[in-house]
Structure 1
Amino acid sequence: MSLIRCLLLDDEPIARQVLRTYAERLPFLQVAGECANALEAYEFLRQHEVDLIFCDIEMPQISGLDFLKALPHRPLVVLTTAYEQYALAGFELDVVDYLLKPAAFDRFWRAIEKVKDRLALRQLKAAPATAPASAPPEAKPTPAADDFIMIKENGNLVKVALPAIRYIEAMKDYVKIFTAERRLVAYLTMKKLEETLPAAQFTRVHKSYIVRNDGIETLQGNMLELKSKVQIPVGVQFREAVLRVLHEHLVRR
């Protein structure tokens, strides 16, 4: 994938060093610059373009939140702070994630995965604008054959083998399809995908999730655990369908 250019904004040198060390472990993440305060960061952004800002909140003169509010064109943001009370204010600014210091690398990595999803969505939203006017607004998958479906990702048709699909997650007008090998992001509604997938193999378990039936391991409370160890929430209106699938699998065993 293309490089994600990031700016480290924190008045603590040690905090910036930790972020830089984490970033260097990911080959697609490039630290474009470091700033110790909001004024430095504002000047940096006037001269450089970045995709992401790691932004501290409590800084001298201008807080991180005030700095972000003042930006006319805001890149994606991951807040980094030692204080939990700013979480709501941060998400009101549509930040991607909120890292509490000291954040471990695995938590940092999960934040970057969210950043990658946001960037993929931006690319998908930009793609229809360059398509011919007669192009349909939504990439429709071909009807499911015995073992695959066709979806459109980043303007390209992709063949997805049904046995490889573990689960699907909705993101408004997009879906994330998780397979054993990769994650695909397609401009497609959950409803259309649900109509396409064979009901004998896949079940809608939540308004935001579809899972492969033979990938279900257990149901505990309102959480479904897949054989891949991923946990998926179960919606109240879908619980009966989940129980039916579990019962069918028990009978087959």
Structure 2
Amino acid sequence: MQINCIVIDDEPLARNTIESYIKKIPSLVLLGSFENPLEAFHILDTVQVDLIISDIQMPDMTGIEFLKILKNPPFAIFITAHPQFAVEGFELEVLDYIVKPYSLERFAKAIQRAQKGIAYRYTKSMGEDEYLKVKDGNKTIFLKYNDINYIEGMKDYVKIHNINKSIVTMTTLKSLEQLLPKEGFIRVQKSYIINIKKIVSVESSKVILTLNRFEVPIGLLYRNELFRRLQL
């Protein structure tokens, strides 16, 4: 997947480093490199930009301020020596915050996040959504539905138990239930939604999942619908 990107950083050495890393990643196409956000406005009006790779602290305008004023902002990766400013971008679709100095490996990891985000937007527009978009701290991340084992509700938060790790995000189980594909997920208890494909076995009062053979209790209000869906 080709990713059209631009670079914004007021330090020439920092821009050169980013540009050199971009050249090493075949999927990235650099459309422009700019000293400040104001110089980047024109390119966003003329071509499709998928990703902004930007510093945060710059003299005329911060990277976060720039992202906030864009009508339909692309995804963003911030590379900064001042990570404390990252909290300002919570409501934005920032994929990663890279702290200077950093390696090509760290940069490549951020680009992998970008590939998932852009794939999410594309499949969403085509009606073939494969990802769940959630906040992990100040970052926007994209989880493949097939990688999710189960989701646990904790009042105003949920814990998504993924193949590789668990992610806590500020939302409700009810909100996520409306976003998840009905054919792949089902609520089995007040505090649990499970991925149907991850079921190992079903008993009268519990479901056993593939992830460490975790046992999820079946709530009385949800049993009939679960058994109907599983044709039991």
* TM-score category of the 2 structures, normalised to the smaller one: 0.5 to 0.7
**CA offset at residue 94 of structure 1?**
2.3
Distance (Å, rounded) in 2 between the aligned partners of 1:6 and 1:171: 35
Distance (Å, rounded) in 2 between the aligned partners of 1:49 and 1:122: 13
Question: What amino acid is the match of 1:20?
Answer: E
**CA offset at residue 199 of structure 1?**
0.5
- Give the equivalent residue in structure 2 for 1:18: 17
- Give the equivalent residue in structure 2 for 1:195: 196
Q: Secondary structure at the match of 1:114?
A: helix
**CA offset at residue 44 of structure 1?**
2.4
Aligned residue pair count: 166
Identity of aligned residues (%): 32
- Give the equivalent residue in structure 2 for 1:119: 118
Q: Is the 8 A contact 1:79 1:90 kept in 2?
A: no
Q: Is the 8 A contact 2:149 2:195 kept in 1?
A: no
User: Are residue 67 (structure 1) and residue 79 (structure 2) matched?
Assistant: no
Question: What amino acid is the match of 2:79?
Answer: T
Q: Give the alignment's Cα RMSD to 1 decimal.
A: 3.5
Q: Is the 8 A contact 2:9 2:34 kept in 1?
A: yes
**CA offset at residue 177 of structure 1?**
8.1
- Give the equivalent residue in structure 2 for 1:102: 101
**CA offset at residue 93 of structure 1?**
1.7
TM-score normalized by the length of structure 2: 0.60
Distance (Å, rounded) in 1 between the aligned partners of 2:80 and 2:119: 26
**CA offset at residue 97 of structure 1?**
0.7
- Give the equivalent residue in structure 1 for 2:127: 128
Distance (Å, rounded) in 2 between the aligned partners of 1:19 and 1:239: 47
Distance (Å, rounded) in 2 between the aligned partners of 1:20 and 1:171: 40
Q: Is the 8 A contact 2:163 2:211 kept in 1?
A: no
Distance (Å, rounded) in 2 between the aligned partners of 1:24 and 1:239: 48
Structure 2: give runs of 5+ residues left out of the alignment: 132-145, 152-161, 165-179, 187-193, 202-207, 218-232
**CA offset at residue 69 of structure 1?**
1.1
Q: Is the 8 A contact 2:148 2:195 kept in 1?
A: no
**CA offset at residue 125 of structure 1?**
1.2
Question: What amino acid is the match of 2:43?
Answer: F
Q: Is the 8 A contact 1:84 1:100 kept in 2?
A: yes
Q: Is the 8 A contact 1:168 1:211 kept in 2?
A: no
Structure 1: give runs of 5+ residues left out of the alignment: 130-137, 139-151, 154-166, 179-186, 205-209, 214-237, 242-253
Tell me: CA distance 1:87–1:111, structure 2 relative to 1, closer, same or farther (3 Å).
same
**CA offset at residue 109 of structure 1?**
1.1
**CA offset at residue 171 of structure 1?**
11
Q: Is the 8 A contact 2:6 2:32 kept in 1?
A: yes
Query: What do the CA deviations read for 1:127-165 (whole angstroms, capped 9, x no partner)?
Result: 228xxxxxxxx8xxxxxxxxxxxxx89xxxxxxxxxxxx
Question: What amino acid is the match of 1:194?
Answer: N
